[in-house]
Amino acid sequence: MARQFFGLEWGGNDLPCLTWDSLTIGRNILSLCAMTALKIINAVAPIRICDLGGWTDTWFAEYGQIFNIGVYPYAEVQIEVFPLKSRDERIVIFAENYGERYAISTPQTRWERHPLLEAAIDMMDVPDDLAFQITIFSEAPAGASTGTSAAVTVALIAALDRLTPGRLTPHEIARMAQEVETKRLGLQCGIQDQLCSAFGGINFIDMHAYPHATVSQIQVPNDIWWELERRLVLIYLGNSHNSSQVHEMVIRELEDAGSADSRIERLRNTARHARDAIYAGDFGAFGATMIENTAAQANLHPDLISSDAQRVIDIAKAHGAIGWKVNGAGGAGGSLTLLCGALSADKRAMLRDIAAENPLFQHIPTYLSRYGVRTWERESQ
């Protein structure tokens, strides 16, 4: 059966064979967990919503502009550092959302159980004279099309960076996190999610030549920040987003069309318009840009706006919402960002009707993140 970790799906056996080796590793893990850690390293990174200009941060677009917003709930990584006990089982991964704890060794020639985590650990030149357990957790649902896998990787690399000399900049952390997916795992991956998690806040990203980009954080007065936070709503559609044949077909078409294709330029324009609207505090213009971006996604392929997404959009429109954006690339599953009108009572009525429409539809409370990835460490006591 296929396995998923934070939106990345992999083949594998869900029922591992219980062998002498696995029992031995299990005892070593329990022994490691019972020890007192020398120190605990913490890292958190925000997820991403409302990505306007998505699809233009890719290799086949060559250049692009993207607007996005970093929000909490965040991805969390915690590393418990111990004295070295065993080189073979010195690194333990605890994927808390999945209740899985297992040991790995480095370097690795293949990544099997949670490749995203294992490849990120393998990329970092961590010291070999320490043992550590790495706990990964996210309150955002897997496959919500909110850049959760990028947030996890950014937080993990930032935490591991505290075990090595020097400190990576947010831009360097984002670049390494993106290279885990593209170079180590051979996946299709843009650059915007990692940059949003690394920098946080409201961003305008100008990718002048893939994958090189500058990040301009949009600074606005508190009343605009607070009003934007109040109006934004994240709705999870109840099913994990999966890359599909639709995405593969769109990528092939855009690759053949080239970077000057009018469909890509239409998406680039939405990012610039969103930036200008937020600077002006013009929520009507910002909502119109969200709607335009969603229409541009549908222009790439109608199936990028799923029937579930359209049902939520219809309910939102009936309650006076002024903007909606299918998060990420679009398609089945995933989530939407909605921009509500001026009255909070209308927002609450909308949320009640969305919940009544389908019990799988889930409102995920969000708060705008003023910070990107953060790390700190303390003694274990």
**pTM exceeds 0.85, yes or no:** yes
CA–CA distance, 148 with 139 (Å, rounded to integer): 10
Across 199-223, b (16+ Cβ under 10 Å) vs e yields bbbbbbbbbeebbebebeebebeee
Q: What is the distance between the alpha carbons of residues 283 and 126, in angstroms, rounded to a whole number?
A: 46
Please answer whether residues 372 and 158 qualify as being in contact, where contact means their C-beta atoms are separated by less than 8 angstroms: no
Place of tokens 């947010």: 170
Burial 100-128 (b: 16+ CB within 10 A, else e): ebbbbeeeeeebebbbbbbbbbbbbebee
CB 270 within 8 A of CB 52: yes
Structural tokens at position 205: 């990203």
CA 27 to mean position of chain CA atoms: 34
Question: How far is the C-alpha of 98 from the C-alpha of 136, rounded, in Å?
Answer: 10
pLDDT tens, N- to C-terminus, the chain (381 residues): 344 444 444 333 333 333 334 444 555 554 545 567 889 999 999 999 999 999 999 999 999 999 999 999 999 999 999 988 655 578 999 999 999 999 987 777 678 789 999 999 999 988 888 899 999 999 998 889 999 999 999 999 999 999 988 899 999 999 999 999 999 998 888 999 999 999 999 999 999 999 999 999 999 999 999 999 999 999 999 988 766 677 888 888 898 888 889 999 999 999 999 999 999 999 999 999 999 999 999 999 999 999 999 999 999 999 999 999 999 989 889 999 999 999 999 999 999 999 999 999 999 999 999 999 999 998 876
Write out 112-131 in H/E/C secondary structure: CCCHHHHHHHHHCCCCCCEE
Label residue 187 exposed, middle or buried (CB < 10 Å: 0-12, 13-18, 19+): middle
Burial of 150 (0-12, 13-18, 19+ CB in 10 A): buried
In this structure, which CATH number among 3.30.230.120, 3.40.50.10680, 3.30.70.260, 3.20.20.70 belongs to the domain 2-378? 3.30.230.120
Provide the residue ranges of all domains of the chain, joining segments of one domain with +: 2-378
